[in-house]
Amino acid sequence: MAESRVLYREFKALKRREGELFDNLTMCSEDLGVWRFELRSHHFDPGAIGTRELKNDLKKLNNRHNVDHILVECSFRLNGSAPFPTCPPLIRVVRPRMKWYTGHVTSGGSFCTEMLVNTKGLNGWRSNYRIEAVIQALVISAVHCPAIVISTPYNGRQVSGPLRVDLSCEYTDNVLREYSEYEAVSAFTRAEAHHRRQGW
């Protein structure tokens, strides 16, 4: 199958960046459709506004729960009606729970940027994007976000900004409770619809 060959080629290219861009890249399904990897504080730009706070969050998370990373999943099975690379993957945090609307992560854990949506716009998904470049862009943008007040259709006014771990459990009862695929897809769908109306 052509999609499997493309995914295998992308996985091999990404595997070469292991240790530099992320840690512990694994394939979680026989059909090559789900990958997971770990992001630690040293994978984020040390000169970015948000990296210092995120680094402190991950240090506290490790001290309290013996977890020093963000587990991320890249799924090519949930990306729409057409196969990859026609449609983008769904990229989501699995755990820990993040503060809502920080680092372009939705309340359900999915990353939501125009790059991951078929908007047909200048910054939308393109079938020639390499997953390596997409992940690198997400890691950069996660900590290079200005803190601003946003208005959301479901949760009112919220503060968005650089990626933060929800250590105070403001949005959850357990910071290590994994986001489900359902939460990620639902939140991504809501965020995408909002952006299509309001712009990116």
What is the predicted pLDDT for the residue at 78? 61
Say what percent of the chain tops pLDDT 70. 94
Q: What is the CATH number of the domain that holds 63?
A: 3.10.110.10
Which domain, by its residues, includes 133?
2-198
Q: pLDDT at residue 38 above 70?
A: yes
Residue 193: the pLDDT is 81
Alpha carbon 128 to its chain's center:
20
Number of domains in the chain: 1
Mean pLDDT of 174-188: 95
Q: Average of pLDDT values for 149-164? A: 77
Q: How far is CA 156 from the centre of its chain?
A: 22
Burial bucket for residue 53 (CB in 10 Å: 0-12, 13-18, 19+): middle
Tokens of 85: 């690379």
Is 77 within 8 Å of 34 (Cβ atoms)? yes
Contact 60, 167 (CB under 8 A): yes
Instruction: Average the pLDDT over 36-65 and give the result.
Output: 96
56-113 tens-digit pLDDT = 999 999 999 999 999 999 999 765 567 888 889 999 999 999 998 899 999 999 999 9
Omega before 146 cis (within 30°)? no
